[in-house]
Structures are given as structure tokens and as C-alpha cells.
Amino acid sequence: VRYTEPAARQAIVDAAHSLFGRGLTHGRTGNLSVRVGPFILVTPTGSSLGTLTPDDLSVIDHAGNHIDGQAPSKEAFLHAAILRSRPADSAVIHTHSTYSVAVSCLPDLDPADAIPPITAYFAMRVGQVALLPYYAPGDSALEPHAERIAGEHRGMLLAKHGPVVAAKDVESAMDALEELEQTAKLFLLLRDRGATVLDPIEASRLSAS
């Protein structure tokens, strides 16, 4: 999806308010971005998604350089890296959603497939979720990992931190983020009960990555 700048600003603000209002991220956590031509609009550093306005956003380029507006989120480099490696996608959302963070803290996850395909919608909207190694928030050493992994995974978990998803537009990224969070919750509910998962062939047939 090709966004105009005003449409991108409004889409980010609407999604930010929705995420915050439903408790999918809290405090001053979470950041969103949308590609607009050669630039990326991203939420500013230190902002609450609950009170964001269209004029608050930062403009960066695809190398992550600050171009205009307020100082970008210290996680903006992650958005730029993912959008560089996914040219068909225009939106990235990162939150600290509780159940996804909880899963990202578990030992023994498969780094290439951190959450099993419990339901068909998860396979369709998210696909295989990669687990990226822990780095302190804002540590740009994460950048090369994210850029490499994002080419094959629209959904990622940052270890001990939170989920990141990319999609063609903000609405699809919201769907993927919410599906990831709900599936993380189901995974935690079912993990010790020997729940079945989708047949691997069916999961890959449905897969969105």
C-alpha cells in the first residue's frame, strides 16, 4: 500500500490510540511506523501511544537518519531495518504486549518458529515467528539481525522485550500484532496440556510470512 503523508499520519495515530486503549501496550512503550515514499513516519521518543497526535510524528529515512519532526523513538532503527528488508510492506508495529513478552522470556524456544501454529488464523496472519536475541532497548546491534530475519518473517519476538510485526498496511499489521498476542496467550494456556498444533503442511499452506 502506498500512503500519502496525511493518510499515514492518521493511520498511525488511530492505531496507536487503539493499541493503548485496549491495553496492548502501556506507559511510553510501543512504536509504529509507515513508509511514505523515500521516508518513514515513526512515533517519537518518549511518547505515549494513548495521546499521540498526527503532528507529533518523526520523519526518518530508510537508513534511520532523523529528517524532520520530533526526535524518533530509540527503536526507530528497527523499523527502518525491517522496511528495508520487506519492500512490499509499508507498516511496522512494535509493542510490549504482555503475553507476547511472556513467551519471549521462555527458555528453549525455536528461534525460527517461536510459537507453534495452534490455530489457522495465526498461520494466516502471522506465520512463523522468529525469536531475536536479547539486546538492551535501543541497542543498534540488533539492527543487522532484524534486517536479515525480517526478510523471511513478518512476525518477530525480541527476547525479553516484545513483539514486532510488518505488513502491507497498518490495518494488516494491527491484525497480525493482535493475532500474535492472542496466540501467545493460548500458547501459555495450553503449553503444559499437550495441545495439538496444525499439521505442518497445512500451516505452511496457510502461512503469511
Q: Contact 32/50 with Cβ under 8 angstroms?
A: no
Q: Which of 3, 5, 121, 179 is catalytic?
A: 121
Among this protein's residues, is 135 annotated catalytic? no
Verify whether residue 3 is a known catalytic residue: no
Burial pattern 67-91, b for ≥16 Cβ within 10 A else e, equals eeebebbebbbbbbbbbbbbeebbb
Secondary structure letter of residue 44 according to DSSP: B
Q: Give the list of residues 6+ apart from residue 67 with CB closer than 8 angstroms, or none.
A: 39, 59, 60, 61
Task: Reduce the DSSP state of residue 164 to 3 states and report it.
Answer: strand
The dihedrals phi and psi of 61, each to the nearest 5 degrees, come to -100, 180
**Angle 64-66-72 (CA atoms, 0-180°, nearest 5)?**
85
Residue of 178, 203, 175 whose CA lies nearest to 118? 203
Catalytic residue among 3, 5, 75, 147: 75
Q: How many CB atoms lie within 10 A of CB 120?
A: 13
Enumerate the active-site residues. 75, 121
